Chains A and B, each alone.
Chain A
Amino acid sequence: MLKIDNLHARVEGKDILKGLSLEVKPGEVHAIMGPNGAGKSTLGNVLSGREGYEVTEGSVLFEGRNLLELEPEERAAAGVFLAFQYPVEIPGVNNTYFLRAAFNAQRKARGEAELDSMQFLKLVREKLKIMQLSPDLLNRAVNEGFSGGEKKRNEIFQMALLEPKLAILDETDSGLDIDALKQVAEGVNALRSPERSFIVVTHYQRLLDYIVPDFVHVLAGGRIVESGDSSLALKLEEHGYAWVAEHGEPAGASA
Chain B
Amino acid sequence: MNQPARTPFVAALADAPLPASGIAWLDQARRGNLEAFADAGLPDTRVEAWKYTALRALAQRSFAVGDAQACERVVDPSAWAMAGIDGPALVFVNGVFRGDLSVLDALPAGVSLQPLSRALVDEPEALRFAMSRHYREPGDAFARLNGAFATDGTVLRVAAGARIAAPLRVLSIGAAAGHDLAWHGRHLVEVGEGAELTWVEQHLGSGEQAHLATQLTDFTVHADATLHHVVLQQAGAGSSLVRRSHYRLDARARAHLHVLELGGLLVRHDLRAELVGDAAAFHTHGAFLPDGRQHMDTQLAIHHQARQTVSTSTWRGVASGRGRGVFRGAIVVNAGADGADASLGNKNLLLSAQAEIDTKPELEIYADEVKAAHGATVGQLDERALFYLRSRGIPQAQARTLLTTAFARAPFESLADAALREHIQQLLLARLPD
Q: Which residue of A lies closest to B434 (CB)?
A: A101
Q: Interface size bucket, A side?
A: 20 to 34
Q: Which chain A residues lie closer than 8 Å to B402 at the CB level?
A: 93, 98, 101
Within 8 A of B (CB), among A52-108: 71-73, 75-77, 81-82, 84, 87-93, 98, 101-103, 105-106
Q: A51-B383, A92-B406 are in contact. List 10 more A-B contacts (CB 8 A).
A: A49-B391, A51-B387, A72-B390, A88-B384, A88-B385, A90-B403, A91-B410, A93-B402, A102-B389, A105-B398
Q: Which residues of B contact A142 (CB under 8 A)?
A: 388
Q: Which of A72, A92, A93, A103 contacts B391 (CB 8 A)?
A: A72
Which parts of B369-412 form the interface with A (CB within 8 Å)? 382-385, 387-396, 398-399, 402-403, 405-407, 409-410
22 contacts between A and B (CB under 8 A): A48-B391, A50-B387, A71-B395, A73-B390, A73-B391, A73-B393, A84-B388, A84-B391, A87-B388, A88-B384, A88-B388, A91-B410, A93-B403, A98-B389, A101-B402, A102-B392, A102-B393, A105-B394, A106-B392, A141-B406, A158-B392, A162-B393
Residue of A nearest to B404 (CB): A92
Number of A-B contacts (CB under 8 A): 79
A109 to B394, CA, bound (A): 10
Contacting residues, chain A, for B405 (C-beta < 8 A): 92
Minimum-distance CB pairs A-B, first 8: A92-B406, A76-B393, A102-B392, A106-B393, A72-B390, A88-B388, A105-B393, A93-B406
- Closest CB-CB distance, A27 to chain B, in whole Å? 23
Would you call B396 and A73 a contact (CB within 8 A)?
yes
- Please state if A77 and B409 are interface contacts (CB–CB under 8 Å): no
A73 / chain B contacts, CB cutoff of 8 Å:
390-391, 393-396, 399
Cα of A102 to Cα of B389 in the assembled complex, Å: 8
Q: Which of A102, A141, A162 has the most CB of B within 10 A?
A: A102
Inter-subunit contact A72/B406 (CB<8 Å):
no
Q: How far is the CA of A37 from the CA of B187 in the complex (A)?
A: 64
B368 CB to nearest A CB, Å = 35
Which residue from chain B places its CB closest to the CB of A72 in the assembled complex?
A: B390
CA distance A106 to B398 in the complex (A): 13
Q: Which residues from chain A contact B395 at a C-beta distance below 8 Å? A: 71, 73, 105, 109
Which residues of the other chain, A, contact B390 by a CB distance below 8 angstroms? 49, 71-73, 76
Among B384, B385, B394, B410, the one with the most A-chain Cβ atoms within 10 Å of its Cβ is B394
Q: State the CA gap A94–B390 with chains docked (Å).
A: 16
The residues in A between 100 and 123 inclusive whose CB is less than 8 angstroms from any CB of B are 101-103, 105-106, 109
Task: Report A-chain residues with C-beta under 8 Å of the C-beta of B396.
Answer: 71, 73
Query: How far is B366's CA from A12's CA once the two chains are assembled, in angstroms?
Result: 49
A81 to B390, CA, bound (A): 11
* Shortest distance between the CB of B173 and any CB in chain A (Å): 31
| A residues in contact with B382, CB < 8 Å | 88, 90
Kindly list chain A residues whose C-beta atoms are within 8 Å of the C-beta of B388. Answer: 84, 87-88, 90, 142
A44 to B, closest residue via Cβ: B391
Contact call A92/B392, Cβ cutoff below 8 A: no
Closest beta carbon of chain B to A106's beta carbon, Å = 4
